[in-house]
A = this chain, B = another copy of it.
């Protein structure tokens, strides 16, 4: 998939977090209700799938999903925004099928997403996720590998046990998306060891890590509902660009997000030396601020004292990124990807209310604050 971009249409798309949310999101769809529907229909099936795992993998997985705490006591947890299940159910409705048709797809996508989180957290050495210790930190690296593998296998099982031609096609596209996730993680790891990453490389990596699975979520319900390849391709394109918009917003929140809302530290991505979009765009922009930023980051890479940098030192780097134009470019990129996502919906016929809900979800993704 390429990340074709059309011109911005600032007047019709919502703003990103650096400005105020649009007063009237496109369509009259109720996004919280849409997200809640995804959670309500998918979660019981997801839990039943995870319950199939042999001990202690069932317990480790339940901890990861936030259903129990580290001591095994029931927990409410933070299930995340649940955009993927909402998309999977909505995409079933493109074909005229009921949202329930998309449920095995929603569950399979959630299983693959969480397989990748378990493995990525271990590979990246991340100790916290959703305000909790990660699985490898609590249950050890072997359980993180093993339970990740088990969730990946379960994802295929949940689809293939349907035994239909449609499920086979869905499983094939989910496999392609999973390969994208893995490619993206491989790129992410290799970029860590490089001094410079181009904007194109960053977009390709984010397309793999975030775009590919959102593309699958946005089309898998339709495939289960019997959609043809062209319909699935168009819905994938919507989801892919939505994913890139999502990630651009994430990259902004990773630097300028409100810690109260995101649950992350201030300047979180800077502390982790992430080569995210605002950083690579600022470095590519040229000019005095860009050059000064490049020098600073090169010094930081060699610094043994980086962990103890003050708030002011991170704030100075964030200010240079903004001065070099990295923040504004990323905000515009979120709008461009949002526009491309929404425009791609015009390529196929679907019920007006379903289209409005896809648009509303896209709006939600770019105006969110966490």
Binding site for B on A (CB under 8 A): 54, 56-57, 115, 119, 122-123, 141-142, 145-146, 148-150, 152-154, 156-157, 160-161, 163, 165, 167-169, 171-172, 175-176, 178-179, 182-183, 185-187, 189-190
A6 to chain B, nearest CB (A): 28
8 A-B pairs with least C-beta separation: A168-B168, A160-B172, A123-B142, A156-B175, A54-B183, A153-B178, A150-B182, A153-B179
Closest to A118 in B: B145
A sample of 9 cross-chain residue pairs with beta-carbon separation below 8 angstroms, ordered by A number, consists of A54-B187, A122-B141, A146-B189, A152-B153, A157-B175, A157-B179, A163-B169, A168-B171, A171-B171
When distances are taken between beta carbons in the complex, the residues of chain B under 8 Å from A154 are 179
Say which residue of B122, B165, B189 sits within 8 Å of A168 (CB atoms): B165
CB pair A145–B157 under 8 Å, yes or no, is no
CB pair B157–A163 under 8 Å, yes or no, is no
When distances are taken between beta carbons in the complex, the residues of chain B under 8 Å from A145 are 119, 122-123, 145
When distances are taken between beta carbons in the complex, the residues of chain B under 8 Å from A119 are 145-146, 149
When distances are taken between beta carbons in the complex, the residues of chain B under 8 Å from A149 are 115, 119, 148-149, 152, 178, 182
The complex is assembled from copies of this chain, and their number is 2
Say which residue of B115, B142, B160, B176 sits within 8 Å of A171 (CB atoms): B160
When distances are taken between beta carbons in the complex, the residues of chain B under 8 Å from A171 are 156, 160, 168, 171
Among A115, A119, A182, A185, max chain B CB count under 10 A is at: A182
When distances are taken between beta carbons in the complex, the residues of chain B under 8 Å from A148 are 149
CB pair A146–B57 under 8 Å, yes or no, is no
A163 to chain B, nearest CB (A): 7
When distances are taken between beta carbons in the complex, the residues of chain B under 8 Å from A160 are 168, 171-172, 175
Closest to A115 in B: B149
- Once A171-B156, A178-B153 are accepted as A-B contacts, the answer to whether A186 and B146 lie under 8 Å apart by CB is yes
Say which residue of B146, B153, B172 sits within 8 Å of A157 (CB atoms): B172
CB pair A186–B152 under 8 Å, yes or no, is no
Given A119-B146, A157-B172, 9 other A-B residues pairs in contact with their CB atoms under 8 A: A56-B186, A119-B145, A123-B146, A142-B189, A149-B182, A156-B175, A157-B179, A163-B172, A168-B171
Closest to A183 in B: B54
When distances are taken between beta carbons in the complex, the residues of chain B under 8 Å from A142 are 123, 189
Kindly state the separation between the CA atoms of A18 and B19 in the bound complex, as whole angstroms. Answer: 78
When distances are taken between beta carbons in the complex, the residues of chain B under 8 Å from A150 are 179, 182
A89 to chain B, nearest CB (A): 23
Closest to A158 in B: B175
A205 to chain B, nearest CB (A): 11
Say which residue of B122, B123, B172 sits within 8 Å of A161 (CB atoms): B172
When distances are taken between beta carbons in the complex, the residues of chain B under 8 Å from A123 are 141-142, 145-146
Kindly state the separation between the CA atoms of A123 and B183 in the bound complex, as whole angstroms. Answer: 22
A56 to chain B, nearest CB (A): 7
A74 to chain B, nearest CB (A): 23
When distances are taken between beta carbons in the complex, the residues of chain B under 8 Å from A182 are 57, 146, 149-150, 153
